[in-house]
Structure 1
Amino acid sequence: MTTTPVLQAGPDDRPAHRDPNVLRWLGAYAASMAGDGVYYIALSWAAVQAGSPAQAGLVMSVGALPRAVLMLGGGVIADRFGPRRVVIGSDAVRCAAVLAVAALLFLTGLGLWPLAALALVFGTVDAVFVPAVGALPARITGKAQLARVQGMRGLAYRFAVIVGAPLGGLGVAFGGVAVAFAFSGLLIAVSVPLLISVRVRELPPDSTTTAWRDLVVGLRYIRRHPVLAPLVLAIALGDLGFVGPLNVGLTLLAHERGWGASGMGWVLSGFGTGAGAAALLLAVRGRLPHAGRVAGWACLAGSVAIGALALVPSVLAAVGIALLIGLLAGLSGAMCIALLQTHSDPACLGRVTAVSSLASLGLAPLTMPLSAAAIGAWGTGPVFVVSAVVCGLGGVIALGVRDLRRAELPG
């Protein structure tokens, strides 16, 4: 970790799917995300077994607060120390923490305090891990490959979800929670040697300013940028309108319609399939023309589909609409992130990623209890429509601001 393999300066025209450096990073990312999937299954199951439903909910939400509060500082750390070093350190800490809790649970049995402490550690580490992960692709490949890398990253994430959740369930079923946590730690551990071998494009260090000054400079850089300022706002609105309905709202909708857990599972699989198709499209094509327009129109069309989801009576129709939502939201999200990375100064990309991620990972989850309360008061239809309007505003901004509407990805 003290010696960083350096990628030679200058653009790399090698396709990302044929670049061993990118593939090593992708393997590390997939292993880390699969470990996360096992961790969340194990944590939720252990919390339910160890305490009341209210206590279990508290344990599951403990990590959200440090992630939201520390995210902007995490972006400063990623830019100051380099995203590769930060990701390696984050995965090492998460691996050590989850293995330590696995050993503790094996020796002493279930308890709420170790689970809450683990959730707190994960939330704190996520505050630096998320900005660093977002900043890393721009250091390992050329700008012309960033859209393809986003598609490949989306596919890796879908693969990790498919692998991680069943592994977590099998670990709990056959070995107990401690074994499931051990699975999680070992999967995260796989990412560390892969990350150590990844070559990055290093930037000149700048230690002449304070961390607070770095944060102020980063926020000012975003505010004054003709593309990034509206783009970050569009991403925030899209996430705020999307997270509530597609999480707690979908559960309540399935209950209201009588679809049951299996029906909800089919709807979620439709969404995942659509998002995977969008990721595959970008991974194969590598670049779509008129990126700003595509992101804006996909966001608008996706918002209409979100509103329509609450109006369909049958599971089959809901699955079809969910597939469309996944396709449009996946396409819009991937294009927005690719634009974010290609239009940002690499020296500020950690801070830019932190600001854009703050809405989706810090603020948007807070809309879930509000969505649930609103659905209880007014029903699913009005709440889904309001959420669709909020999401659609992101598309309106993307299409209404000229510089963002005309933004392109490098060819």
Structure 2
Amino acid sequence: MTVTGIPPAPVAERPAHRDPNVLRWLSAYTASMIGDNVYFVALSWAAARSGGAAQTGLVLAVGAVPRALLMLGGGVVADRFGPRRVVIGSDAVRCAVVVAVAALLLVAAPGIWVLAAVALVFGAVDALFLPSVGALPPRITAPGQLSRVQGLRGLAQRVATVCSAPLGGLAVAVGGPAAGFGVAGVLFAVSLPLLMTVRMREPAEERAGRAADTARRQLADGLRYVRGHRVLAPLVVTIAVSEMGFAGPANVGFVLLADERGWGAAGMGWVLAGFGLGAGAASLLLAVRRRVPRAGLVMSCAVLPGAVALGAFAFAPSVAAGVVAAFFTGLCLGLGGALAGALMQTVTDPAYLGRVTSVGSLFTMGIPPLSYPLTGVAIGAWGAGPVFLAGAALTMAGAAYGLCSRPLRRAELPV
């Protein structure tokens, strides 16, 4: 039984940036990402209005816990039912949740526990959405276009980051949190019909492989597959270690460093802009290039200077120096991250894509947010400089591990 009645995608290879099928998926992904970020702005503001700083932090943390705990299960669901079906279903649930919250805010002032429940549901649905959306690119384009698709995906993330904050802020300023949730719901609703028109390729062996095993057995099988794979095993370790070194300093450290050194909100904004510009340049490079030779080696080698740039924040004497460090951090780590994603999708058997993607997502979007409070405590105790140096050392260790793996160094993307 096929997942969709839409005709399968053509076999002939077409450049990803000129493929209408890829562009429909990219548009849906961009709308969903902007909606995700606008939702976060609205939730943060609604929590701040309903409680104090501690309660706001609690609401935001509650959403991260089910995302981390259920991420691997989300990969099993993606492989069992097909990622397209799971992506559409989870996007529809997210749309319904935020529209319901918007309607509730119009007629009542929900307490902090209602908002915490919303964050809990949204985090659980994200645990289904993220592995499935990550497993889609190999099904919508030819193998030789995967690096381009990863570049386009990176550009979409940069666009979402740039557009969502002012859009969410404007909506909340004009109509309060209800308007923010309403805008997020509209964006999720826009992504749904676009996703439904994306044509999918589903290998016959993958359809035959879905079936009667229990979810627990499928999860264990997926973890054994990753652990025993010559390229995936060192790739996942490289991703996990590098991301744990980068995530805390980048997401919490930038803000606290700017405050510690008197750069102010404007200085923090310039640093974040430098990081976004560097990451966008890396994504654009991959989007326009057909192929990156020796992708496994380039991935690890790109992370090394990115780690050095991250550590340079410890010594940045001015906003200008911080912007330069942020640009090279975004450029190098953005390139390494995109190549890691393309390699993961290339070397994985299609029957395991959802589970393998869930493992990668767990170490990039599931576990790292749980380290943010620890990063804040460490900066409060020792200052931002030592924390950035420790993060850089951990990121560099991840890259060094990748370089020590011969199968990963020799891994190539398809021609």
Question: Does TM-score exceed 0.5, indicating one fold?
Answer: yes
**Residues 73-114 of structure 1, C-alpha deviations (whole Å, 9 max, x = no match):** 000000110010000001000000000000000011353233
**Distance in 2 separating the partners of 1:303 and 1:177:** 38
Contact 1:292 1:404 in 2 (8 A): yes
| Gaps in structure 2 of 5+ consecutive residues | none
Corresponding residue for residue 135 of structure 1: 135
Contact 1:238 1:390 in 2 (8 A): yes
Corresponding residue for residue 413 of structure 2: 409
Q: Secondary structure at the match of 1:199?
A: coil
Contact 1:7 1:140 in 2 (8 A): no
1:233 paired with 2:233, answer no
Paired residue type of 1:240:
M
Paired residue type of 1:213:
R
**Distance in 1 separating the partners of 2:5 and 2:279:** 34
Q: Kindly state the Cα deviation for residue 360 of structure 1 after the two structures are TM-superposed.
A: 1.8
- Which among 341, 346, 359 is matched to residue 363 of structure 2? 359
**Residues 140-167 of structure 1, C-alpha deviations (whole Å, 9 max, x = no match):** 1111011000001111111122222211
Corresponding residue for residue 244 of structure 1: 248
Contact 2:309 2:328 in 1 (8 A): yes
Q: Secondary structure at the match of 1:163?
A: helix
Contact 1:101 1:114 in 2 (8 A): no
| Gaps in structure 1 of 5+ consecutive residues | none
1:36 paired with 2:36, answer yes
Contact 2:66 2:127 in 1 (8 A): yes
Q: What TM-score do the two structures reach when normalised by structure 1?
A: 0.97
Corresponding residue for residue 304 of structure 2: 300
Contact 1:12 1:141 in 2 (8 A): no
**Distance in 2 separating the partners of 1:349 and 1:177:** 37
- Which among 200, 207, 217 is matched to residue 204 of structure 1? 207
**Residues 268-304 of structure 1, C-alpha deviations (whole Å, 9 max, x = no match):** 0100010000000000113211111111111111111
**Distance in 1 separating the partners of 2:94 and 2:316:** 42
**Distance in 2 separating the partners of 1:4 and 1:409:** 31
Number of residue pairs the alignment of both structures matches: 410
Corresponding residue for residue 66 of structure 1: 66
1:156 paired with 2:156, answer yes
**Residues 335-389 of structure 1, C-alpha deviations (whole Å, 9 max, x = no match):** 0000000010111011011111111222211222212222222222222111111
Contact 2:9 2:140 in 1 (8 A): no
Q: Kindly state the Cα deviation for residue 4 of structure 1 after the two structures are TM-superposed.
A: 3.8
- Which among 247, 256, 264 is matched to residue 268 of structure 2? 264
Q: Kindly state the Cα deviation for residue 8 of structure 1 after the two structures are TM-superposed.
A: 4.8
Corresponding residue for residue 21 of structure 1: 21
1:384 paired with 2:388, answer yes
Mean Cα deviation higher: 106-115 or 90-99: 106-115
Contact 2:3 2:82 in 1 (8 A): no
Paired residue type of 1:338:
A
- Which among 341, 347, 364 is matched to residue 337 of structure 1? 341
Q: Secondary structure at the match of 2:367?
A: helix
Corresponding residue for residue 120 of structure 1: 120
**Distance in 2 separating the partners of 1:83 and 1:314:** 46
Q: What TM-score do the two structures reach when normalised by structure 2?
A: 0.96
Corresponding residue for residue 5 of structure 1: 6
Corresponding residue for residue 48 of structure 1: 48
**Distance in 2 separating the partners of 1:207 and 1:311:** 55
Paired residue type of 1:410:
P
Paired residue type of 1:276:
G
Mean Cα deviation higher: 152-161 or 27-36: 152-161
**Distance in 2 separating the partners of 1:376 and 1:112:** 27
Correspondence list, 1:72-83, <5 A: 72-83=72-83
Q: Secondary structure at the match of 1:410?
A: coil
Corresponding residue for residue 179 of structure 1: 179
1:309 paired with 2:313, answer yes
Paired residue type of 2:320:
L
Distance change in 2, residues 1:198/1:250 (3 Å): same
**Distance in 1 separating the partners of 2:216 and 2:259:** 47
Contact 1:4 1:199 in 2 (8 A): no
Corresponding residue for residue 169 of structure 2: 169
Q: Kindly state the Cα deviation for residue 2 of structure 1 after the two structures are TM-superposed.
A: 7.0
Contact 1:140 1:200 in 2 (8 A): yes
Distance change in 2, residues 1:12/1:229 (3 Å): farther
1:396 paired with 2:400, answer yes
**Distance in 2 separating the partners of 1:375 and 1:54:** 18
Paired residue type of 1:242:
F
Contact 2:148 2:287 in 1 (8 A): yes
Corresponding residue for residue 284 of structure 2: 280
Q: Kindly state the Cα deviation for residue 13 of structure 1 after the two structures are TM-superposed.
A: 1.0
**Distance in 2 separating the partners of 1:168 and 1:401:** 44
Distance change in 2, residues 1:313/1:8 (3 Å): closer
**Distance in 2 separating the partners of 1:12 and 1:344:** 21
Paired residue type of 2:184:
S
